[in-house]
Amino acid sequence: MVPIRNILASALCLTALATPAFAQSGGSGSAGDAPSLCKPDTRVEILSEGAWYPGVVLDALRDGRCFVHYDGYGADDDEAVAPKLIRSAR
């Protein structure tokens, strides 16, 4: 059983992540980030399970995450990822 203080701490963290300043910064929480790669049709590499996979950004979500499609995979594998998990395609 999870202690109630852990649940409350998690809720507070989620609330902080949902603030407009956090979302506008690209989700990293710091000002001065490089221009976001989270723009539709941008070719990127996505970090997943310790490896970089080629893909494309499908959409920028309101919460600051990027909805991406992995090259060579079906739409079932499309997912929302934090901007820190994408980089320019090489």
Per-residue pLDDT reduced to its tens digit, 49-65: 999 999 999 999 999 99
Residue 40 sits at φ, ψ, to 5 deg, of -50, 140
Residue with tokens 């852990």: 6
Q: Scan for tokens 């059983």, then name that residue.
A: 1
Exposure of 15 in the CB half-sphere (CA atoms within 13 A) = 6
Are 34 and 49 within 8 A, CB to CB?
no
Look at the domain 4-88 and name its fold.
SH3 type barrels. (2.30.30)
Rounded CA separation 73/35 (Å): 27
pLDDT 10s digits, 11-47: 444 434 443 434 443 444 332 333 589 999 999 999 9
**Structural domain boundaries in the chain:** 4-88
